[in-house]
Structure formats: C-alpha cells, structure tokens
Homo-oligomer: A and B are copies of this chain.
Amino acid sequence: MGSNFQPLPGFRDFPPREHQLSRYLFEAWARIARRYGFSEYEAPILESADLYLKKSGGELGEQLFRFDDKGGRDIVLRPELTASLARIAAAEQRGYSKPLKWFEIGRCFRYEKPQRGRLREFYQFNADILGETSPAADAELIALSIDVMRELGLEEEDFSVRLSDRGAWLDFCQDHEVAPSRVDEFLQIVDKIERDPEEKLRARLRAFEIELEVVRSFIEDGNASCSAAISVVMEELSARGLDRYVQVDLSIVRGLAYYTGVVFEVFDTRKSLRSVAGGGRYDSLVSIITDGSTDLPATGYAMGDCVIMELLKESPNALLKYQAWQQQQSSCDVYIVIADESKRPDALRLGHAVREAGLSADWPLSPLKVNKQFKAADQTLARFAFVVGSEFPEIKLRNLNSRTEESITPGTNPVEFLRGRMEEPDGPLIA
C-alpha cells in the first residue's frame, strides 16, 4: 500500500463506520440548537484574506491555509466561522427580526502540528446571538453549551463551565493604567496564570508595573463578588437548574482579542482540564468588519469535533449512549432474498414498492446462494427479510431477530403487512 491510500497529514477519512460518530454528534448539535430556537445558516469555506485582516486588526496568524487564486485574489480557507458570520449578518440583518439566533456546523482549516484533538481539518459548531445586549443572551448560550454536553451523555463529573467577564478585566486595565494597545498582551499573562511558573509571571507583569499578588487578589475578589453581567448570567442559569455546572473564574480570559464582555469555557474535568468548547461576547466585531457601517452587539459559542469525539470515547456513560444509538442504525429495513432467480423481476417490483413506501430495502445485485443472502441481510442489520421464491406470488416474511417466518398470501399487500410487523416488538432474541 502506498502513501496514496492516506489522507494528507492532519486530515481524516470517515468511511461509513467512522462517519456514524460524526453524524451522531452533528445531529445532537443541530437538535439542541433548534430546541433553543436557533436557525441554521451556512457561509463559504473560502473567504478573502481581507476579512480576517480586518477581524484581527491587520495581522494574520501563522496557522492559515492561505494562497492566491488564479484571479490573483488573496484567499483564506476559513480557520473559524465567526468572521463570515459577522459579514453575512451585517448584510442580511435588516431582513430578520432581532435578535438573530443563528447556528452553523461547518469545516474549518488550520495549518498546525497535528496531534490528538488538534487537526488541520475539523468541524466546528457555532451558535451566535446577534442584536441583543442583555447578558441573558450569554446565559442562553451557556445553557446551550451545557445541554449539548448533557445530550451527549456527559454530566457533572465529566465537565464544568468556567465563567468570567472580560469587561471586569478591561476595567482593571484602566484602573492600573495598562495602555489600550497592550491590553491583549496583559490578558495573555492572565490567561497563563494557572500554568506558567511564578517567576515567569512576575517577570512578564513587571513590564506593566503590576504585582502578581494584585492580579491574584483581583481574581479572588471577582470570583467572590461577581460583576453585574455575571450575576445576571448566574440567575438565568439557576432558574433553569443549570448553575451546578458553572463556576465563576476570572482567570478565564479566552485567547481571542475581540471578546468584550462575558466569556466562558467548557472544560473536560477528567483529563487535565482540556478545553472542549467556549465562547463570549464580541460587541465590536461586526462594526470592525463593516468599517463602522453596521453596529450589532453579539455573543457566540463554538465547539470543535475533535476533542469532544475523544471525550465521548472516554466517558463510559457517553459511550453507552452512542452505542445504543448505533444499534438502531440499520442500513436497511428489509432485505429481499431472491430464492429463485427467475423471480428477480418480481423481487425488484416488491423492493421498489417497499422503497416507495419510505422504507429502506436492499437485495443482491447478482445471483447469490440463499444462505449467503441471509448472511448479507444480517450484515445490513435488517430486522426483516422478504423471501421471493418459486411459490411467488406467495411471499415469506422472515423476522431475522426471532428467526420466525410467516407466509403472505397473494391478495395481501406485503408492504402493509411488513409495516404491521415492524410496529410489533420482537420478543426475546434468539442468539
């Protein structure tokens, strides 16, 4: 086998068995988003580099797939979904009532060193609320992020949400005379306050003439007496009984520069607190991207597919839930066994009638011994088989779980007969 059997490094193939987990995850994402009243949209995968230059304030990260197209355009394969969302929302917002509650599930690309949970091509689920300044919108997204985890069978022992407010840090910076141009640099230090060694933190803070103790006590005080926005968020979550998943933790500032208010991050509590998802308020982004022509407050949430898929395999409860779902995914409702090749046209007519009724049917495309056909039927996980043989127009219906068989006499509609049997439970399975 040559290298041509492999995808590019950091890219994944999803043959049908592997694809099932993606489908399970995507369906859960979309189901919860719709339950929360979000509508689906979709942005292009390629965008002009300009869009990202605006978003980032002139600098593009190192991790972009970026190239010139044949028309000389400077093009980027999207690394995330928010820039396109801001562009589209600005163009479309007049035609929709506010707030916009929009979601997307789409592929993103980052040129980084591939590792567990970090790949060059991945899916991201984004849910955003635009046109609403109330922290109730942030609470809505945090509730959504919790319900996504719960829908996947993950509970308090598996994850926790840490809630913070960048607004409080922006106030802190003002009080401690951090130049606006250096706020990001300062927040990068806060971001690492739990991981970096004390000496390193002190050295970096020296440039701001701020003591580590001052930062630490600001965090402790803030956690004890929350900001107004955090208080609203916690009240909204308490009303839903979801506050037990959330801890206020001002040391969470989130990497991206464009956050302006409430921020949060969902952590895996098993494995050294891996980040699974996160989000926050970004009230200035639409204005930045539209050169000030559209002002639209916004808050958003994003979860990638890579870390959560690892997590689903590691949590026994989540795995059981997925496996239960998997067992219901047969690739066919009824397999047509053609016991007499001369009856193939009759078998096809029957199979087509099954499909016309909205059920799935399969059969051997070339002549096959009857026992091999039953084997093929088992492999599709079909619960039933129709047997079309020399007795046609009499047909047999076989329950492949209970291994029982009954005859359908001519004059009875076999598809209606099948439907009746599909609604009945199977009784004890015979191994």
A residues lining the B interface (CB < 8 Å): 1-2, 4-9, 11-17, 19, 22-23, 34-48, 50-51, 54, 65, 67-71, 73, 75, 77, 84, 87-88, 90-92, 95-97, 99, 101-102, 107, 109, 111, 121, 129, 132-134, 136-137, 140, 143, 147, 235-236, 238-242, 289-291, 293, 331-332, 344-346, 348-349, 351-352, 355, 358-362, 365-366, 376, 379-380
Contact = CB atoms under 8 A, between A and B. Distances in A.
B19 A42 contact: yes
Given A8-B47, A365-B137, A39 B54 contact: no
Given A41-B14, A48-B8, A34 B239 contact: no
A365 B132 contact: yes
A35 B236 contact: no
Given A87-B5, A239-B349, A16 B44 contact: no
Nearest to A97: B379
A22 B44 CA distance: 13
A377 B379 CA distance: 48
A11 to B, nearest CB: 4
Contacts of A39: 16, 19, 331
A73 B48 CA distance: 22
A420 to B, nearest CB: 20
B366 A16 contact: no
A405 to B, nearest CB: 22
B42 A143 contact: no
Given A87-B4, A102-B16, A241 B42 contact: no
B44 A345 contact: no
B290 A91 contact: no
A290 B1 CA distance: 8
Contacts of A69: 65, 111
Contacts of A6: 91
Given A1-B91, A39-B331, A134-B365, A8 B96 contact: no
Nearest to A51: B4
A360 B34 contact: yes
A48 B8 CA distance: 7
A91 B45 contact: no
A60 to B, nearest CB: 13
A45 B47 CA distance: 15
B13 A358 contact: no
Chain A interface helix/strand/loop/mixed: mixed
- Among the interface residues A13, A147, A348, A352, which one has the most CB atoms of the partner chain B within 10 A? A348
Nearest to A359: B35
Contact of A331 (B19, B37, B242, B290): B37
Nearest to A138: B365
A42 B67 contact: no
Contacts of A107: 45, 107
A345 B235 contact: yes
Q: In this complex, which of A4, A102, A133, A147 has the most chain B Cβ atoms within 10 angstroms of its Cβ?
A: A4
Contacts of A136: 365-366
Contact of A361 (B16, B35, B236): B35
Given A289-B4, A293-B1, A241 B40 contact: no
17 contacts: A8-B46, A8-B73, A13-B92, A15-B92, A34-B360, A35-B360, A36-B362, A37-B362, A45-B109, A46-B77, A46-B109, A65-B69, A97-B379, A101-B331, A235-B345, A239-B345, A240-B351
Contacts of A238: 345
Nearest to A240: B352
A53 B14 CA distance: 23
Contacts of A137: 365
- The winner among A23, A91, A96, A134 for most chain B CB atoms within 10 A is A91
Contacts of A19: 39-42
